[in-house]
Amino acid sequence: MALTGALLLTSAPMASADAVRDAQWPLTIYDAEKVWKTSQGAGVTVAVVDSGVDANQPDLTGQVLAGKDFTGGGDPHNDTDGHGTGMASLIAGHGHGANGSAGVMGLAPKAKILPVKAPASAGTETWAAGVRYAVDQGASVINLSFGDSSAYPGSAGAEAIKYAQKHDVVVVAATGNDSGTVSYPAALPGVVAVSAVDKDLKYWSSSNKGNVTVAAPGVQTAQADPTTRSGYAVADGTSGSAAYVSAIVALLRSKYPDLTAGQIINRLIKSASFLNNEGKKAPDSELGYGIARPGSALTMNIPAGPKDGPLAQASPPTSTTSGSASKGNDGTNPVKNEKKSSSGSIFLIAGIAAVVVVIAIVFAVIRSRRNRGSGGPGSGGGVPPQGTGYPPQYPSGHQPYPNAASNQGYPAPAGQQPQYPNPYTQQPPRQGQ
């Protein structure tokens, strides 16, 4: 299996837990203390499909559920890579020490983390099984901070994501870090594809472009890392950006439990902003519909919108439905049977219609001759004039995608159905947090 953006995280260890909180600039940008007065993600389960999550990490104690290891090791809490624990800390860390003043605070500190140990390196089939497991365990948000070029439409990974979307789960994925086009699975229809911005809210140049949904902090983000001596690291990558957006989705799902996954995504998109990025027009190839803003997403007056939400949806299967529901009791196709049983009636009706047409023609000819007296042939001719519909003009089977011009010249990866997000006519605001 080939991987796209296999290394979605570059990190450096931090000196101490006390220095971590000061380094968490995204919490300052987002005015997290104010956000938490509205929602902290309580009652929401976020599945982190990754390298596992260390449940003993001080900032995550009590937040990590049992989960499952799909790699054969048997322990989803054994994270020898550190990546999964880092993502979990950005989502649901609660800090530690006096008043939780040390360590990592996640943006949704009361959300629960479902660890699904199934990194992209284990293969598409493996993490796809992990996605399905997360859905069946009740996760309403799934974080995929990795790239897998084998997760193209029709693959096991794509089908697992469709399964999640069918069960009203929001799937969030990192766009990738190789300055290329948005990688799979972020490139799949309906997935919230997240690029990265830095402390100045400017686009991170290594972040992948194309059909981006929103952007979020992903440069110099402080997070837990059980593989370092201090237990923490500062990292660059769209992995962290995706984790922050997963946290925002958790905040929204907690406050608006009656909204569908698509309607949650609608709030996420409609509240995004191009703050500090003048001249951008949505959808932008780098920032999508803007930088995700939790405070605005939680409090803005945004119509719920259609249940499916604004993102393009996956195409239905082209093959016929299998199983007993598609066949009659005798195993035959009921549609074919219907055609056979109605064929006699069709021929009878056609015969009657032909007789009526002949009579009408004869009547018209006789009447025409009477009107002209003994005149010669009429001047009408037998060839219909241009523009009368002959020969029949069949509509083209290729309809343009909405916002087709928004691809900004970045080609979709091979085999990809282009995903052109097409939110409603309401334009998101461009100021504030």
What's the rounded Cα separation, in Å, for the pair 106 and 29? Answer: 13
Q: What is the 3-state secondary structure (H, E, C) of 238-283?
A: HHHHHHHHHHHHHHHHHHCCCCCHHHHHHHHHHCCECCCCCCCCCC
How much is the pLDDT for 39? 98
Is residue 353 a part of any domain in this protein? no
Nearest to 41, CA basis, from 286, 238, 301, 297: 297
- Residue 239 falls in the annotated catalytic set: yes
Is residue 109 a part of any domain in this protein? yes
Could you tell me if 306 and 262 are in contact, meaning their C-beta atoms sit under 8 angstroms apart?
yes
Is residue 349 a part of any domain in this protein? no
Residue-wise DSSP of 206-228: TS-BSS--EEEE-SSEEEE-TTS
For 265-279, how does the pLDDT look when each residue is reduced to its tens digit (9 = 90+)?
A: 999 999 999 988 988
How much is the pLDDT for 327? 33
What's the rounded Cα separation, in Å, for the pair 154 and 66? Answer: 30
Q: What is the mean pLDDT of residues 115-137?
A: 97
Q: By mean pLDDT, which of 42-51, 121-130, 147-156, 397-406 is the weakest?
A: 397-406
- First and final CA of the chain: distance in angstroms? 41
- Residue 50 falls in the annotated catalytic set: yes
Please enumerate in sequence order all residues whose Cβ is within 8 A of that of 296, keeping only pairs 6 or more positions apart, or say none: 271, 273, 429, 432, 433
Please report which confidence band the pLDDT of residue 142 belongs to, taking 50, 70 and 90 as the band edges: very high
Where residue 279 sits, what CATH number does that domain have?
3.40.50.200
How much is the pLDDT for 312? 82
Could you tell me if 255 and 38 are in contact, meaning their C-beta atoms sit under 8 angstroms apart?
yes
Number of domains in the chain: 1
Q: How many C-beta neighbours within 10 Å does residue 44 have?
A: 25
Return the higher-pLDDT residue of 350 and 32.
32
What's the rounded Cα separation, in Å, for the pair 273 and 293? Answer: 7
Is residue 382 a part of any domain in this protein? no
Please report which confidence band the pLDDT of residue 75 belongs to, taking 50, 70 and 90 as the band edges: very high
Q: Is the pLDDT of residue 326 over 60?
A: no
- Residue 207 falls in the annotated catalytic set: no
Q: Is the pLDDT of residue 93 over 50?
A: yes
Is residue 338 a part of any domain in this protein? no
Is residue 148 a part of any domain in this protein? yes
For 283-314, how does the pLDDT look when each residue is reduced to its tens digit (9 = 90+)?
A: 999 999 999 999 999 999 999 999 999 998 87
Please report which confidence band the pLDDT of residue 13 belongs to, taking 50, 70 and 90 as the band edges: low
How much is the pLDDT for 174? 98
Q: Is the pLDDT of residue 183 over 90?
A: yes
Upstream peptide bond of 423 is cis (omega within 30 degrees of 0): no
Q: What is the pTM of this model?
A: 0.74
Q: Catalytic pick from 39, 50, 155, 236?
A: 50
For 395-420, how does the pLDDT look when each residue is reduced to its tens digit (9 = 90+)?
A: 222 222 223 233 332 333 344 444 43
Q: What is the mean pLDDT of residues 253-257?
A: 98
Is residue 3 a part of any domain in this protein? no
Q: Catalytic pick from 11, 59, 77, 83?
A: 83
Q: Catalytic pick from 11, 89, 140, 239?
A: 239
Give the structural domain span for 311.
10-315
Is residue 305 a part of any domain in this protein? yes
Nearest to 433, CA basis, from 273, 221, 301: 273
Q: What is the mean pLDDT of residues 120-142?
A: 98
